[in-house]
Amino acid sequence: MHIAVLHETGEVERRVAAMPETIRKLIALGATVAVEAGAGAAAGIADTDYEQAGARVADRAAVLAGAEIVLAVQAPEAATLAGAAPGAWVVAAFDPLRRRESVDGYAAAGLEALAMDLMPRITRAQSMDILSSQSNLAGYKAVLEAASAYGRAFPMMMTAAGTIPAARVFVMGVGVAGLQAIATARRLGAQVSATDVRSATKEQIQSLGAKPIFVEGVAGIEGEGAGGYAGETSEAYRAAQAELVAGHIARQDIVITTALIPGRPAPRLVTDAQIATMRPGSVIVDLAVEAGGNVEGAVAGEVVQRHGVTIIGHRNMASRLAADASALFARNLYNFLSAFWDKEAGRPVLDAEIGDAIRLTRGGQVVNPRLQS
């Protein structure tokens, strides 16, 4: 079983899909591993580190030649994978609901695309869940980015020269990223409040010492939501939420938005008129900016000013912590491959529950039910 690890080519991508540690373990399973030269450089891993772990380091063509499994952080276009074995697995994040044409390219190339970002949220797959591992780091980093762009301190400080009040931080969307954002802002000493549409998050917000801001009297989404994900809420709920948030936002110094709905554009949560009510010098970080944005006026890949408020729209926030993000991503991939490793076959063999959920293409066809339209 020959495994290839690619050098990422995506814009603002500093992560890498394998670490020396995971390569040693893959080799222990019986695989051979080749890493594209320079693949780990942006995450602080030298080619020699990979070589010491037992991998061969070479150029892309040599690494891909005969590869039966290709590992990447962001799936590249299939056309760039010439030389891989027929039917080779490509294990990566595909963002398939938004990049349908790219998936068609995988089918045409006869490759088997396995979208780690469609991993089902079941207990045994938690250690393989790239969305969780990366969102957690993104939530943490979002708060640090906000703190450094903010011209004031986060904690209350009582000094001989006078008292500095604690910053008020509002987190919108309390999934994995939002929970980590709350925890990080609390550790920095801010006064934190948070909101979500899933009622189960109320208790989670409280348990982190933050204040829940929830629409009362209009049903949002009960409990955890299907598979832990939010769906669209009713129009009445959205109107009540907008009104509640409008009053609250005017008193916030920092807003971190993380709200996503799988397969849909991100919900719009903050309007330009609401931004105008915030104190100049306030900071908003929109972690959903690549999915269309929660914040009006946020621009993917840019930091913009609106009404004296800084709106941070960094792409790929997890990549800003490339070393840790790579380490966790690489372990997710290793946990996945090793959980299904079949000693006799000398390769992983997927079961239906996970295989059917993440497999996008096979035998020249697009096979994922979520992509059948």
Q: Which residues are catalytic?
A: 121, 126, 129, 132, 229
Nearer to ligand NAD (CB atom), residue 40 or residue 175: 175
Cα–Cα distances (Å) from 197 to 192, 212, 294, 355, in that order, read 18, 11, 14, 30
Strand bridging mode 309-312 / 303-306: antiparallel
* Binding status of residue 195 toward ligand NAD by CB under 6 A: yes
Of 115-144, which residues contact ligand NAD (CB under 6 A)? Answer: 121, 125-126, 129, 131-132, 135
Give the SS3 label for residue 270.
Answer: strand
Q: Is 252 in the site for ligand NAD (CB under 6 A)?
A: no
CA distances from 262 to 286, 308, 315 (A): 17, 32, 18
Amino acid at 350: L
Q: Single out the segment in contact with ligand NAD by CB under 6 A; choices: 42-50, 55-63, 254-262, 303-311.
A: 254-262
Pairing of strands 283-286, 341-342: unpaired
- Closer residue to ligand NAD in complex, CB, 64/291: 291
Nearer to ligand NAD, 72 or 287 (CB): 287
Which residues ranging from 148 to 177 are in contact with ligand NAD (CB under 6 A)?
A: 172-177
Residue 94 vs 106, nearer CB to ligand NAD? 94
* 114 vs 93: CA distance, rounded Å: 8
**206 contacts ligand NAD (rule: CB under 6 A):** no
Interface residue with ligand NAD among 260, 311, 317, 328 (CB under 6 A) is: 260
> Shortest Cβ distance from residue 347 to ligand NAD (Å)?
25
Helix (H) or strand (E) holding 44: none
Buried b (16+ CB within 10 A) or exposed e, 354-363: bbebbbbbbe
* Contact predicate 172/255, CB 8 Å: yes
C-beta closer to ligand NAD: residue 44 or 231: 231
Residues lying near ligand NAD in the complex (CB under 6 A): 121, 125-126, 129, 131-132, 135, 172-178, 195-198, 201, 224-225, 228-230, 233, 258-262, 267, 269
